[in-house]
């Protein structure tokens, strides 16, 4: 079946450090891939997305590249800020079988000043 696996947290970094959150997926064909972010006390919101192989999604300094050969969609940011502290969810929508989104378990990020 379809699934998303992301690295367990929490991840703790100092301000201006480099961030990588790993995400791999299992799905047939070419799913659409997403990263969502959830700030404390809020609902999830879309951070970036990619809909086909080799696409790079980017937003607010975050990037992720759709790698079909490794079934991965790792999230990266070159220099994190305290305001990036949040929970990050990797997700996919399969290209067949309905419109449900499959979410990973989420990775909590703490950024220290």
Partner 1 sequence: DAEITQSPRHKITETGRQVTLACHQTWNHNNMFWYRQDLGHGLRLIHYSYGVQDTNKGEVSDGYSVSRSNTEDLPLTLESAASSQTSVYFCASAPQKGEQFFGPGTRLTVL
Interaction site with partner 1 (CB under 8 A): 32, 34, 36, 41-46, 49, 89, 93, 95, 98-101, 103-106
Cβ pair 103, 5 in contact under 8 A: no
Give the number of C-alpha atoms closer than 13 A to the C-alpha of residue 112, restricted to the C-beta side.
5
**Residue 28 phi, psi dihedral angles, 5° rounding:** -85, 150
Nearer to partner 1 (CB atom), residue 100 or residue 112: 100
CB of 77 to partner 1, least distance (A): 19
Least separation in angstroms between CB 98 and partner 1: 8
Nearest approach, Cβ of residue 9 and partner 1 (Å): 12
């Amino acid at each position: 079946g379809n699934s998303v696996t992301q690295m367990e947290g929490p991840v703790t970094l100092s301000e201006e450090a480099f961030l990588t959150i790993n995400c791999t997926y299992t799905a047939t064909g070419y799913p659409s891939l997403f990263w969502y972010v959830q700030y404390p006390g809020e609902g999830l919101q879309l951070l970036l997305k990619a809909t086909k192989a080799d696409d790079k999604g980017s937003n607010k300094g975050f990037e992720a590249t759709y790698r079909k050969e490794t079934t991965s969609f790792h999230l990266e940011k070159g220099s994190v800020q305290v305001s990036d502290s949040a929970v990050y969810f990797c997700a996919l929508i399969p290209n067949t079988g309905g419109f449900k989104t499959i979410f990973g378990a989420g990775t909590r990020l703490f950024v220290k000043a």
